[in-house]
Amino acid sequence: VVFENVSFGYDASTTVLRDVSFACRPGEVVALLGTTGSGKTSLVNLLPRFDDHFSGRILRDGRELREYPKENLRCLIGIVEQEPFLFSRTLRENIAYGVDRNVGLEEIEAAARAAAIHEVILSFPQGYDTLIGEKGVTLSGGQKQRVAVARTLLRDPRILIFDDATSSVDAETEAAIQQALERLMAGRTTFLIAHRLQSLMRADLILVFQEGRIVERGDHESLMRCGGMYRRIYELQTSLEAELEATRA
């Protein structure tokens, strides 16, 4: 995926992204970091063409995204958002939803294991046949996100987008999901938005956004050496986590 001088705004008077340029190869993880409103979610929304950029080019395999029919393009992309939508159906049906082929329970379970939700599902009396929704068991926010992660992985997309997808899980569960995803991201381009730097540190490319522009780029080590915004955020989060641990001791 290549972005070349891409700019975008929701109307003529507002520019959300300004001259954004970067490139990533298949199998690489691109992490997006910045304050609320800095343009991170707007950028990933351009990939499935939920919105179209008004200048510059976005290329996939050398082809402009506008040349892809939206339906075909979106089949290539898997998205897990902060607040995933689940249906009032069984857990098995929710995980298999959107897959354009017949899938067996073995595949569904493998995806659930990768998303660290398999053991939770087995704890319910009906297991994968448990109904969720108004008349079924109520899942926590973190459990819903893990079901959505399993659904996305089962679709086997070429591009993955995780928009703060682990925001509702604890640190231990987040670590389990990240470890599983590292195996499953191989060969796929992954875009990752998260507020916890712990989730971003292993990315091949970290893009730091401010007011719609990329102000810093690199991996964790190079950005720490630069001593800019990324390092300040890292040191602040590390300090806050240390204080929190001290209060628990």
Q: Give the per-residue pLDDT at 133.
A: 76
Q: Give the per-residue pLDDT at 81.
A: 80
Task: Mark the ranges of the chain whose per-residue pLDDT is less than 70.
Answer: 134-137, 165-174, 176-181, 183-184, 249
203: its two tokens: 């990315």
| Token pair 């976005």: residue | 58
Is 78 in contact with 152 (CB distance < 8 Å)? yes
Q: Give the per-residue pLDDT at 134.
A: 58
Q: Give the per-residue pLDDT at 90.
A: 93
Encode pLDDT of 92-103 as tens digits. 999 999 887 889
Kindly state the greatest CA–CA separation across the chain: 57
Q: Give the per-residue pLDDT at 237.
A: 87
Global model pTM greater than 0.75: yes
Q: Give the per-residue pLDDT at 26.
A: 85
- Provide the 3-class DSSP secondary structure of residue 89: coil
